[in-house]
C-alpha cells in the first residue's frame, strides 16, 4: 500500500519536472562524455537549479526501484516487512547523503577554486539523475519482457556500477583541471570511496 502511494506521488512529482528534464537532458548527456561539461552546466544558474530540483525529484523513484528489485539487500534485512524494508531503503539513502555532506565539509580542499569544487560536488546530482532514468527505463522494458526479478536486479547493479565508475572518472577530470592527478585521486578517495565503502561493505559482510 505504502509503495503504491509513493509510486503515484513520485510519478506526479516527476511529471511536474518534465519540462526541466527536457531542457537539461542534453547537458546531462554531455556530462557523460566530458568532465568539462559539468563546469559548463554549473556556470548556468538556470540549468544548475533545474538539475538540483530534478535530482531531488528522483530520490523517491530511485528508492522505490531499490526496494522493488532489492538493490540493497544485506542478509540482516531478511525478515523485515515490506514497509519496514522500504523505510530502510530511504534511511540508507539519506544516511549516505548525510555522510557525503559531512565529508565534503571535512575534506574541503583549499587549493581548488570554489567554482571547480562546486562543479565536482554537484556532478553527483547529474549522474544520479541519469542513473535513475536508466533504471526506470530498464524496469519498464524488463517488466514488459517478463524477465525474472533476479535477472533485472543483477542487470541494474551492473549498470549502476558502470555509471558510478564513469562518474568517478569525470569527477577526477574536474578536480585535475585545478590540481595534479594524484591530488585529484586523493580527493576522490576521501569524498567518494569512504562513503561508498561504508555503504557496500556491510551489505557484503552481513
What nine digits make up the cell of 174?
574536474
Q: How far apart are the first and last CA of the chain?
A: 29
Q: Is the pLDDT of residue 204 over 80?
A: no
Q: Is the pLDDT of residue 144 over 70?
A: yes
153-180 confidence digits (pLDDT tens): 999 999 999 999 999 999 998 988 887 7
Q: What integer is the mean pLDDT of 105-125?
A: 85
Q: What integer is the mean pLDDT of 9-20?
A: 89
15-62 confidence digits (pLDDT tens): 899 899 999 999 999 999 988 899 999 988 999 999 999 999 999 999
What nine digits make up the cell of 73?
539487500
DSSP-derived secondary structure letter, 192: I
pLDDT exceeding 70 applies to what percent of the chain?
A: 98
Please tell me the pTM assigned to this model: 0.93
Q: Is the pLDDT of residue 88 over 80?
A: yes
Burial of 2 (0-12, 13-18, 19+ CB in 10 A): exposed
Q: What is the pLDDT of residue 11?
A: 87
Beta carbons of 53 and 17 less than 8 angstroms apart: yes
* Residue linked to cell 535513475: 132
Q: What is the pLDDT of residue 203?
A: 66
Reported as a pLDDT band with limits 50, 70 and 90, residue 205 is low
Q: What is the pLDDT of residue 55?
A: 95
Beta carbons of 171 and 188 less than 8 angstroms apart: yes
3-state secondary structure of 19: helix
Which span out of 1-5, 13-17, 198-202 was modeled with the highest average pLDDT? 13-17
* Residue linked to cell 556530462: 31
Amino acid at each position: 500500500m505504502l509503495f503504491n502511494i509513493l509510486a503515484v506521488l513520485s510519478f506526479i512529482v516527476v511529471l511536474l519536472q518534465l519540462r526541466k528534464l527536457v531542457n537539461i537532458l542534453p547537458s546531462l548527456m554531455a556530462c557523460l562524455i566530458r568532465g568539462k561539461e559539468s563546469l559548463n552546466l554549473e556556470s548556468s544558474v538556470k540549468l544548475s537549479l533545474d538539475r538540483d530540483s530534478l535530482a531531488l525529484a528522483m530520490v523517491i523513484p530511485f528508492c522505490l526501484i531499490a526496494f522493488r528489485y532489492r538493490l540493497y539487500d544485506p542478509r540482516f534485512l531478511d525478515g523485515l516487512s515490506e514497509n519496514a524494508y522500504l523505510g530502510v531503503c530511504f534511511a540508507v539513502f539519506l544516511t549516505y547523503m548525510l555522510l557525503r555532506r559531512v565529508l565534503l565539509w571535512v575534506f574541503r580542499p583549499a587549493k581548488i577554486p570554489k567554482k571547480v569544487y562546486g562543479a565536482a560536488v554537484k556532478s553527483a546530482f547529474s549522474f544520479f539523475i541519469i542513473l535513475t532514468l536508466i533504471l526506470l527505463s530498464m524496469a519498464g522494458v524488463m517488466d514488459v519482457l517478463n524477465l525474472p526479478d533476479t535477472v533485472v536486479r543483477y542487470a541494474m547493479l551492473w549498470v549502476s556500477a558502470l555509471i558510478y565508475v564513469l562518474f568517478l572518472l569525470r569527477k577526477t577530470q574536474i578536480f585535475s583541471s585545478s590540481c595534479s592527478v594524484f591530488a585529484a585521486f586523493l580527493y576522490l578517495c576521501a569524498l567518494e570511496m569512504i562513503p561508498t565503502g561504508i555503504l557496500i561493505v556491510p551489505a557484503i559482510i552481513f
